[in-house]
Structure 1
Amino acid sequence: MHDTNDESYKRAKKRLEDVKGFYTNLISYIIVNIFLFIINMIFTPGFWWFLFPLVFWGIGVVFHFLGVFVFEKRVFGKKWEDKKIQQYMEDEKK
Structure 2
Amino acid sequence: MEISGIVSAVVIGIVIGVLGRLVVPGRQRIGFLLTIVVGIVAALLGSAIAAGFGVAETKGPDWIEWFIQIGLAAVGVSVLDRARSRR
TM-score band (shorter)? 0.3 to 0.5
Greater relative contact order, per chain length (Cα 8 Å cut-off, separation 6+): 2
